[in-house]
Amino acid sequence: DGGITQSPKYLFRKEGQNVTLSCEQNLNHDAMYWYRQDPGQGLRLIYYSQIVNDFQKGDIAEGYSVSREKKESFPLTVTSAQKNPTAFYLCASTAGTAKSGNTIYFGEGSWLTVV
């Protein structure tokens, strides 16, 4: 079945450590997104990519980095510069242009906890 796969589901990070969250989609979507979800704050955009080898910062990009070397993959690295990384991370993707009403699809999310 087509969809978005995020891994791992649970990840623990030690202080000063970088960790990478994986996001893979087989929907042939051009645009991909990373959101951070904290209780009561909804979804906040970290990074997004409209096309391979191109990505832009979202509202809370500090302490995060991404790459888009392949259309189907958009990994997110949480660096040691992110001081409060404990959250639920959601990857999403969508087809079409900015003027389309195509559905935005989400992965199942990844929990990151600092230990």
Which stretches of the chain bind another protein, using CB under 8 A? 4, 6, 31, 33, 35, 40-43, 45, 48, 50, 58, 90, 92, 94, 98-101, 103-109, 111
- The torsion defined by the Cα of 17, 36, 4 and 18, in degrees rounded to 10, comes to -10
Smaller CB distance to another protein: residue 48 or 64? 48
Nearer to another protein, 27 or 80 (CB): 27
Q: Determine the Cα–Cα distance for residues 91 and 29; give it in Å rounded to an integer.
A: 13
Pick 16 or 101: Cβ nearer another protein:
101
Q: Residue 32 corresponds to which tokens in the numbers above?
A: 């991909």
CB of 98 to another protein, least distance (A): 4
CB of 16 to another protein, least distance (A): 28
